[in-house]
Structure 1
């Protein structure tokens, strides 16, 4: 046989082998066998489900008698509150308007009256998500939610979901749809400690369920998705937008169901709920402490309904001694000085939060004068501008990102900026942002350290743009201002124009104090329940900015206390006893808020004051008289009869800083720890630099709007933190400009800067400092220098 024939024979043999193998596979996996296997599995599953169905009875309802109180304790074990009593009155559907009943159907389950009580697709999706660890998922029918509320727990487990499925089918067969709907409406949790629609109607609208309107019913139906987040009285701006959208969704579904006429729907307006009524026994600060603990547990995974059912023993991190000191400080510096006859005294609100930066524990909290009278905690609300207390976060972002000025200079404490008031910010995308400094003072060339000390708006507005507004926002969020994650990055952000709460500001400064490791303030020490477990997150997180950046900001902030806007109330506080302090003042536009947030090595505290109209009133704005409603933001100028600033303005360095000092220095007591700083810049570690400027780019205002208060005839009570680092030769140089120009010179190591006819002169002779202004200016010269106003009208501060 030839080679070609042998090759063809081998190929024919190989084909026969493949055909035999393929035939075996085809015989094993025929379409009939595969289809039979599929139906066999389906039948097996159906049989298994049928067995489960037969073996799973409808259980007894959750007995109200099993409900317990929640017990709240301070860190020393003292019980301060018991809550969790069931607030429910079951009503029949005859006590609920039909349109309100349909609001709930429209919100949760439009096919309710037609389905078998189960959404198999939604349940399957929920099972898969539970198995994959994705957490809670929607998709349940009204019947399933009723079964979960009335017969089962809120646990997210496969077993519980299978039980829910089986029991829902049985309940749908056994009970009329009307009974199921009534059960669902009466067992659901609506927030404000209200179970069932009757309690909810009273809690939110002060009426019986029979008096609810369709619009009000739509709100209550929308509320069930997230009771705390959607409660209008305490909701954030995001929460209000979400619940409004949900309310619209409910009513639009009513139109789709042909239960509402489109024209009638179009005329409906959102029914704003009334303010919540306080729980009994929650007077003073107790209600605020309990409120903060509840919010933290819900934020970390405990459902509102399970928390409301009770049985928890919750121990707080609140230190009773520090808590009392904080309350006493507010009383001493603020509330004891209020006069009901002054309208502004009726409007002023105070909030404060004190945090241990090493553990994240909230050791003291002030939510307002009395929870019974004002249920929204001032410690947690972020409706008011933190103003210049935001500036350290700008510097933190600059240092952490190694940012540079528009001229390519690296930003650090000694970097020189133009501090002129209303200077247009460069690189702001053509928006022409030019914020004024406080009292419209122009500072000219000024270091970052000095700008922080004097709280110069124009410098930090420019720095924010130099950093990049998106980077700045992200840094603020990382440090602790979590609500800012959804705000737009705008130049005005640099002045603290977005609101912040004392708790958020305490979180951000605690992260700085903790060398850049994230601190999330926590009020809960432990939470125990016989049937549930609370997984408390670690308040100390990852490094969110570098240690060097955090420590450098701390170093700079010591200058604000020693030589800046906080020196009178904090540096010279009689109870300070040498404690190292870093901090920042803040005063918002129109004096609607005033802040001081500061820290020692062991304690961080943020104090905020703001105006909230106690009743509708007429105020002046932009030269016009306008009427504002209750709760509107109003000025606090002149509260307590204060007359210490221009226009009786209450600045952050006044009452807020005094409250901070009265509390903090007594709270830290004999603690002698020091700041452990890994930095080579800032007031705490090096002297300030002389600003070399032979050709200043600024023109000081002809009429300063403030007068320095320091008396040069008295020796300083605190040694200066900074001394010039370099001294030009005796005689120095002098550059002058007549009629509004600037003169700069130095004699014997000192510096003299002056302006004729309305300008300013600053100098140092033989170690002293002289600041003066010709023709009505101001002069100050401590130490060995001279201080003489050059012409009539000058004052010796």
Structure 2
């Protein structure tokens, strides 16, 4: 065998030895078999891979396209929507008689040629920069709208001008997938059949601008008192910006946030015009924001009618949003003002007249702006509610809807001051709170009423003074409520915990969202409206069952009937806690800051009454909220700078109004309340209370007088309680409380406290000590 043969033999032997190693790597299987096993898939992995997923996606796309093509073929451009031909609304009192009927629709169609070119472009710049080049649809925006509709989020923009015109003129405001798909198809066809100018003209003439103005001509008159042909580019940019949220962006009623948002959108609109070459940059820089004029009421809306109609419209619009009929408040408002509604209010025609008469008799007839400038700054608002049904029976929004557009009955930008104190006590009872000395807080718990005393147990220092910096020494909670002693309720708020106070206040009906849980809130420093306060006190009157005041009884349209929630809700605080607060509040009337105006008022006839006064810091607001078993009414007076003055629209002091000094809750507000309530209440009634505490219940133990008041609160009183004998829970209050005290005052006397026994420590014209801050 030669060398070559030997080498080949060795190589052949080496290959045979290597074979088992390859076999070992395959664990005894041949390589082909190993690969086959490794490539196998089991279960759902055999069906889910990128090919099947991609194929499924394209399949859905093809199905969607096919469905859209079919829809495109079967859906024609309809005749103009009947809703575009707006109708009147009919508003009725609770007895079915007519309160108001909206007049002819505030809309006048104008040709596009009569609208300045620059103004035309503001709408395109604000809503749809690609309007002149698109096919009538923004596919991305429409897809987003469909997803939001399917997920229950409502429509969130993305529509082109063509789509919005189609929705306004050919369809409805309903938020459904079917309506959205029809909108897309019709928009494509309208874009093919009509010129861009025709579409733009239709859009600006059918859109809703707020203030009951439909179309650009009505809007130009409503906001600037000019015809559409006289609008400037700056004014047009405001009207174009307004369309995004008319109720939020109306300058006359917008919040600071609303004003900031519409100003930003106005700037955005003008900047887009510069970007598109429709406006010179130098001209743009010189433009100033064109503040609109104040609203003017429509004929037949004068007096209180406009306030009632507006509030009814707002309530109906909110319900349309709540039940999903409309996407947002602006869509809902457009549906309401489109007309065709018969809206029955809960307003009692007789009581409405009685409330208006009471305000005139006790307040406005005493004001004379020609003699005193401050008299022009006085604004009054009031709401009356049936606590057993939740119906709003009467509402006073201001002197005249034409003269003062803002509804004083529903505005919440003024402090409720000491009318908040009963809610603190309600929280104490509901939470079974205790003092810093671990004593239960009841009507007879004693607190230190020293003015300016620092609260204990708070991380935030707070030392509120009492009215006129008066010291009261040790007093019971009942006396502190009667005399509205700040230092007592500041400490009680800390004892209860301000988080708990705000929680209970919210459950009673106050809007406490965003309110800081700090001791200063014990003085009622958050904003509230007479409607808010009437609701909270109605819940107390209704033994702790939630009352949400309702102004609308029913609303019917040819297309739908709207159902409203029951104004009476669930038990939010215990019956005993609510009734104890009511019992204590009878003392405010019989022996406290409302004694002269309410307890001794003509027409009381022994009627049992509970209530609380309130006077805010700097005398910018004054309140009285009170109730009988069947009627709750909150009256507020607000200092607002008169139109044309340097302080126009600002919060100002009421001091000096009607030729007097400080305007207190126990003055005009309580007088209005008494004049109205005792005329409207019907038969004399008494509270049916589940409590053993407070001025409406005879004390079971006679308090004893201590020579040296305790330096810390205790459960048992150290001074004698009421200065007149309170009524029992089973008998009506006396017609006129005795002027002579039946018990003595604390032995620690403040030299500034009046000593005349006939006033029992309360001045003849009582000043409410409930300031919210020094």
Interval of TM-score (by shorter of Structure 1 and Structure 2) = 0.7 to 0.9
Structure 1's 170 and 340: CA in aligned 2 closer, same or farther, altered over 3 A? same
Structure 1's 488 and 99: CA in aligned 2 closer, same or farther, altered over 3 A? farther
Tell me the secondary structure at the aligned position of residue 475 of structure 2: strand
Match for residue 167 of structure 1 among 186, 193, 210: 186
**Larger Rg computed on CA atoms:** 2
1:608 and 1:25 mapped to 2: Cα distance? 70
Structure 1's 242 and 435: CA in aligned 2 closer, same or farther, altered over 3 A? farther
How far apart are residue 147 of structure 1 and its match?
0.7
Structure 1's 215 and 446: CA in aligned 2 closer, same or farther, altered over 3 A? farther
2:586 and 2:551 mapped to 1: Cα distance? 28
Contact 2:604 2:735 in 1 (8 A): no
Tell me the secondary structure at the aligned position of residue 559 of structure 1: helix
User: Deviations along 1:645-670, whole A, 9 cap, x unmatched?
Assistant: xxx22211122111111111221211
Gaps of 5+ in 2: 1-26, 321-325, 327-331, 713-722, 725-733, 761-774
- 2:668 maps to 655
Contact 2:421 2:481 in 1 (8 A): yes
Contact 1:416 1:691 in 2 (8 A): no
How many residues were matched structurally? 701
Structure 1's 177 and 353: CA in aligned 2 closer, same or farther, altered over 3 A? same
Tell me the secondary structure at the aligned position of residue 78 of structure 2: coil
Match for residue 654 of structure 2 among 624, 630, 636: 636
User: Deviations along 1:704-760, whole A, 9 cap, x unmatched?
Assistant: xxxxx99xxxx9952599987xxxxxxxxxxxxxxxxxxxxxxxxx776256xxx54
1:488 and 1:217 mapped to 2: Cα distance? 40
1:45 and 1:667 mapped to 2: Cα distance? 65
Question: Is 1:87 aligned to 2:106, yes or no?
Answer: yes
- 1:561 maps to 589
Deviates more, 1:687-696 or 1:340-349: 687-696
How far apart are residue 293 of structure 1 and its match?
0.6
| TM-score relative to the length of structure 2 | 0.82
Question: Is 1:670 aligned to 2:700, yes or no?
Answer: no
- 2:19 maps to none
How far apart are residue 25 of structure 1 and its match?
9.0
1:778 and 1:44 mapped to 2: Cα distance? 88
Deviates more, 1:571-580 or 1:194-203: 571-580
Question: Is 1:383 aligned to 2:413, yes or no?
Answer: yes
How far apart are residue 359 of structure 1 and its match?
1.2
Structure 1's 232 and 668: CA in aligned 2 closer, same or farther, altered over 3 A? same
User: Deviations along 1:318-358, whole A, 9 cap, x unmatched?
Assistant: 11121122122222212233335322333322211100111
How far apart are residue 23 of structure 1 and its match?
9.7
1:216 and 1:428 mapped to 2: Cα distance? 52
Contact 2:377 2:639 in 1 (8 A): yes
- 2:447 maps to 417
- 1:520 maps to 548
| TM-score relative to the length of structure 1 | 0.80
Structure 1's 639 and 38: CA in aligned 2 closer, same or farther, altered over 3 A? closer
How far apart are residue 28 of structure 1 and its match?
7.6
How do 1:201-216 residues align onto structure 2 when only pairs under 5 Å count?
201-216=220-235
User: Deviations along 1:339-383, whole A, 9 cap, x unmatched?
Assistant: 353223333222111001111100111112222322222211223
1:270 and 1:410 mapped to 2: Cα distance? 58
Structure 1's 17 and 660: CA in aligned 2 closer, same or farther, altered over 3 A? same
1:49 and 1:375 mapped to 2: Cα distance? 48
Deviates more, 1:322-331 or 1:177-186: 177-186
Question: Is 1:591 aligned to 2:628, yes or no?
Answer: no
Match for residue 471 of structure 2 among 442, 449, 464: 442
Tell me the secondary structure at the aligned position of residue 526 of structure 1: strand
How do 1:67-86 residues align onto structure 2 when only pairs under 5 Å count?
67-83=86-102, 85-86=104-105
How far apart are residue 533 of structure 1 and its match?
2.9
Match for residue 341 of structure 2 among 306, 309, 312: 312
Tell me the secondary structure at the aligned position of residue 145 of structure 1: helix
Structure 1's 539 and 22: CA in aligned 2 closer, same or farther, altered over 3 A? same
Contact 1:84 1:308 in 2 (8 A): no
- 2:494 maps to 465
Deviates more, 1:420-429 or 1:220-229: 420-429
- 2:356 maps to 327
How far apart are residue 525 of structure 1 and its match?
0.9
Tell me the secondary structure at the aligned position of residue 607 of structure 1: strand
Structure 1's 173 and 629: CA in aligned 2 closer, same or farther, altered over 3 A? same
Structure 1's 481 and 102: CA in aligned 2 closer, same or farther, altered over 3 A? farther
1:106 and 1:381 mapped to 2: Cα distance? 35
Structure 1's 562 and 112: CA in aligned 2 closer, same or farther, altered over 3 A? same
Structure 1's 575 and 751: CA in aligned 2 closer, same or farther, altered over 3 A? closer
2:301 and 2:484 mapped to 1: Cα distance? 40
1:754 and 1:41 mapped to 2: Cα distance? 87
Deviates more, 1:461-470 or 1:298-307: 461-470
Question: Is 1:480 aligned to 2:509, yes or no?
Answer: yes
User: Deviations along 1:571-622, whole A, 9 cap, x unmatched?
Assistant: 12221122221100112233332211001111100111223333445xxxxx
Contact 1:85 1:310 in 2 (8 A): no
1:228 and 1:458 mapped to 2: Cα distance? 42
- 2:397 maps to 367
Structure 1's 496 and 52: CA in aligned 2 closer, same or farther, altered over 3 A? same
- 2:17 maps to none
1:25 and 1:434 mapped to 2: Cα distance? 71
- 1:550 maps to 578
Point out which structure has higher relative CO (alpha carbons under 8 A, 6+ apart).
2
